[in-house]
Amino acid sequence: MSTMRAARVHDASGKFVIDTIDKPTLRRPTDVLVQLKASGIVPNLRNVMSNYGDKSYLTVPDLPAIYGLDAAGVVAEVGSAVTGLKVGDRVYINPGRSCGSCHACRTGENTFCEAFTFQGYFGFGPKSKKIYEQYPFGGLCEYATAPADGLVKLSENVSFETGARFGYLGTAYSGLRKAGVAGGKTVMIIGGTGTLGLGATLIARAMGATKILVVARNEETLARVKAIDPKRIWTFSYGSGSLQAWAKEQTDGLGVDSVIDAIAPSPTNMQTTKDAIGCLRRGGRMVEIGAQINEVPINMHEMMCSALSIIGSLWFTVGEGQDMVNMIDAGTLDLSTFENHTYTLDQANEALLDAEKRAGGFVNVVITQ
């Protein structure tokens, strides 16, 4: 076959149109062609397609574009220089792309590349346009090319639907690592019932956190989260009392070792983030992974005296993605709580509407092929 089907966006409405286009070919010997089996749907995708074009620090692909941030599938062809992958391997495409030659890339910090781009989503500056030219295929099509060093190998224990959730899971895992989460540690996850926050909760459990404090508003969903591990997960409905008093009560008056801010960007969430900073013990860390969009007032003198850290964590590495596969294989990371809402490529518009309902972290909206 020399052609493939793709759900492409042709204008700022964000509506997907099924087109027949040329099937991608390998442009370089280090590339891999993947036959896609599943792609996640990001609830914020329509905002990216219609509203983010005026943000100087975000760059979207030229139209018509193939979106789809998280894609998993089977290797269909490998470049002549690829040695660690073969046809038939099950893989997740980590969409983080960098130029490979700037200062950040040369020092092994690809995420800080001036051209850093999410294949199938958006980039962080005008230099992303060149990355889109090299890798224009997001997950909402039948085949995509990617560099071999951008692939996570999936075992048979990881379904393609779960692989299509790896963007959220990997973002959470990288943030938890930066927060120092481990056995004997207490972590608070705010926004802990959402897609990002539930993943952080499950992974914190897999990493051995002794006590996981989950903060959200919906008491019914919080009850579902606590039921995952009643001995280690404690929940708090924000607005039902003092968050700081509750956190101190759960930690013998010390405060938590770390906070993961997984709240979705919203003008109403600033106070929650501010309150969570006040829940940290001396020397504690907050890691921002939820894209808090508001300016949060911070007392820098208090931060100095208490030796607090606030860290921004962007995305995750292929190595961290492979860590998650290993944890799933070992049985320490249990993702069986996800409820997959699956759609065909022809139903891409319906899938996006479903994702935009933001029904909570238990729902996983996926395009399957």
Q: Are residues 151 and 283 in the same domain?
A: no
Q: Are residues 222 and 130 in the same domain?
A: no
- The confidence score (pLDDT) of residue 53 equals 47
- The confidence score (pLDDT) of residue 260 equals 98
What is the mean pLDDT for each group of 10 consecutive residues in the chain (369 residues)? 94 91 96 98 82 64 93 98 97 96 93 94 90 96 97 98 97 98 97 95 97 95 97 96 96 97 81 93 96 86 95 96 98 96 97 91 95
Which pTM does this prediction carry? 0.95
Say if strands 31-40 and 143-147 run parallel, antiparallel, or are unpaired: antiparallel
Q: Are residues 138 and 212 in the same domain?
A: no
Q: Are residues 185 and 284 in the same domain?
A: yes
- The confidence score (pLDDT) of residue 266 equals 72
How many whole angstroms separate alpha carbon 48 and alpha carbon 122? Answer: 7
Q: Are residues 254 and 293 in the same domain?
A: yes
Domain endpoint, select from 275, 294, 312: 312
For residue 52, tell me if it sits in a domain. yes
For residue 284, tell me if it sits in a domain. yes
Torsion of CA 295, 301, 306, 307, to 10 degrees: 80
CATH of the domain at 128: 3.90.180.10
For residue 320, tell me if it sits in a domain. no
Q: Are residues 144 and 179 in the same domain?
A: no
For residue 319, tell me if it sits in a domain. no
For residue 321, tell me if it sits in a domain. no
Amino acid identity at 107: T
Residue among 248, 34, 234 nearest 120 (CA):
34
- The confidence score (pLDDT) of residue 51 equals 57
The number of folded domains in the chain is 2
CATH of the domain at 228: 3.40.50.720
For residue 12, tell me if it sits in a domain. yes
Q: Are residues 209 and 300 in the same domain?
A: yes
Say if strands 233-237 and 117-118 run parallel, antiparallel, or are unpaired: unpaired
Domain endpoint, select from 312, 330, 356: 312
Q: Are residues 7 and 156 in the same domain?
A: yes
For residue 332, tell me if it sits in a domain. no
For residue 327, tell me if it sits in a domain. no
- The confidence score (pLDDT) of residue 14 equals 84
Q: Are residues 107 and 184 in the same domain?
A: no
Which residues span the domain enclosing 298?
172-312
Q: Are residues 25 and 161 in the same domain?
A: yes
Q: Are residues 28 and 111 in the same domain?
A: yes
Cβ–Cβ < 8 Å for 114, 127: yes
Instruction: Give 64's Cβ-side CA count (13 Å radius).
Output: 13
Q: Are residues 282 and 207 in the same domain?
A: yes
